[in-house]
Amino acid sequence: MTRKQTQAKRRKQKKTRQFRMPALPIGKLSVLLLAGAIIALCYQFSAGLLDQPIRSITIEGPFQRASALQIEESISTELSAGFFGANLKLMQKRIVALPWIDQANVARRWPGKLEISVTEQIPAAVWGESGLLNTRGDLFVTDARHVPAELPRLSGPKGQSAIVATRYLEIREQLIPLGLDLRRVQVDARGAWQMTLQNGVEIRLGRRDVEARTQLFLDVAASIISSREAEIEFVDMRYSNGFTIGWKNGSRLPVEDSTAIGQEMVAGRLVITGLTE
């Protein structure tokens, strides 16, 4: 046989070679499937035995604005699911969605008891005409039936409640040590800020450089108001290099006796170079 014939025969043998799949262990696979089915059945059977009906509910909270009956009604559709079948996260979500509820916690207690604890919203300020803000600046009631008269009044464009509330808290914190308090903060549609102190003095900040003007008010003007609040009607901070004080006698200029006002009223702070918004 020639060399070429030998090579041709080898190529033919390679083409006719067959591959065989390894044999599957059918017996072992059947045993595994059977064991899995038995485990699943045992789990369902034991879960059915353990999943007792919910026999009692305890609800703890201040209940000044919300009632235990409202809370129980909000989760009534989940109670029939049983002790383990009840969706606690969904129940918690429904409770928090109730008016005046701030936070809620729902826990299981074996064998068939649910424990619910809630905290109510604390109104910290009035938003607009009848909305209520909590201590975080969140608008949790848009149209309150009763608006506490002692709460500060905040207002502004839609969606700006948290920003206005944050600035109110920051300014008030710095006014308290001076013997002053903040009663009202308003932001109009153009973005112009205006504040009213507890003593009735208006602070006009405008819509430009609000942070810088606020700081100038706190550093200089607030001390002047603290010492002569009975004589001051408003403080206008809408100037590029200072501010004006509106006195109750009708004057818009500082009194001539600057020593009576104090060192805070320095000339550099009171040079008026033009009103700006």
Q: How confident is the model at residue 255 (pLDDT cuts 50, 70, 90)?
A: very low
Q: Which has more confidence, 251 or 188? A: 188
Q: Tell me whether residue 5 is in a domain.
A: no
Residue 17: CB atoms within 10 A of its CB come to 6
| Same domain membership, residue 181 and residue 257 | yes
Task: Mean pLDDT check: name the lowest of 27-31, 99-103, 122-126.
Answer: 27-31
Residue 129 placed within a domain: no
Q: How far apart are CA 224 and CA 226, in angstroms?
A: 5
Is residue 27 over pLDDT 90? no
As a whole number of angstroms, the distance between CA 59 and CA 98 comes to: 15
Side chain identity at residue 81, one-letter code: A
Same domain, 176 and 252: yes
The fraction of the chain above a pLDDT of 70, given in percent, is 74
Does 205 lie in the same domain as 161? yes
Range of the domain at 112: 56-120
pLDDT at 240: 84
**Domain membership flag for residue 193:** yes
Same domain, 174 and 66: no
| Same-domain pairing of 263 and 199 | yes
CA–centroid distance for 89 within its chain = 19
pLDDT of residue 130: 94
Residue 8 belongs to a domain = no
The pLDDT of residue 39 is above 50: yes
Structural domain ending residue among the three candidates 101, 120, 139:
120
CATH code: domain of residue 252: 3.40.50.11690
Q: Which of 29-43, 120-134, 215-229, 233-247 has the lowest mean pLDDT?
A: 29-43
Are residue 164 and residue 252 in the same domain, yes or no?
yes
Q: Do residues 207 and 200 make contact, with C-beta atoms less than 8 angstroms apart?
A: no
Is residue 204 pLDDT above 70, yes or no? yes
Place of tokens 């969706």: 87
Domain count across the chain: 2
Q: How does residue 168 score in pLDDT terms, banded at 50, 70 and 90?
A: very high
CATH code (residue 63): 3.10.20.310
Same-domain status, 109 and 190:
no
Supply the pLDDT for residue 270: 47
Q: Is residue 13 part of a domain?
A: no
At a CB cut-off of 8 Å and minimum separation 6, what does 43 contact? Answer: none
Q: Is 162 a member of any domain?
A: yes
Q: Based on the fold, state whether residues 89 and 170 are members of the same structural domain.
A: no
Mean pLDDT of 167-171: 96
Indicate the average pLDDT of the chain. 83
Confidence class of residue 262 from pLDDT cuts 50, 70 and 90?
A: very low
* pLDDT value of residue 52: 83
Structure tokens at 167: 């600035």
Poorest-pLDDT segment among 170-179, 252-261, 268-277:
252-261
Please report, for residues 64, 102, 145, 152, the alpha-carbon distance to residue 119 in angstroms, rounded to integers and kept in the order given.
10, 6, 21, 23
90 and 169 inside one domain: no
Residue range 252-275: average pLDDT?
44
Average pLDDT over residues 65-70: 94
Query: How far are the Cα atoms of 7, 16, 44, 266 from residue 11, in angstroms, in the given order?
Result: 6, 9, 61, 106
Q: What share of the chain is helix, strand, coil (3-state, %, to 5)?
A: 40, 25, 40
Instruction: Please check whether residues 171 and 115 belong to one and the same domain.
Output: no
In this predicted structure, the answer to whether residue 210 has a pLDDT above a threshold of 70 is yes
d(CA 131, CA 121): 13
DSSP state of 219: I
Return the structure tokens found at 1.
Answer: 């046989």
The rounded distance, in Å, linking the Cα atoms of 220 and 202 is 15
CA dihedral over 263, 265, 269, 273, signed as positive or negative = negative
Least confident among 52-56, 59-63, 182-186, 269-273: 269-273
222 and 174 inside one domain: yes
Identity of residue 12: K
Q: Select from 120, 140, 161 the last residue of a domain.
A: 120
Q: CA distances (Å), 222 to each of 32, 107, 176, 237, in order?
A: 81, 51, 11, 12
Specify whether 176 is located in the same domain as 79: no
For residues 147 and 130, is the Cβ–Cβ distance under 8 A? yes
Residue 4 domain-assigned (yes or no): no
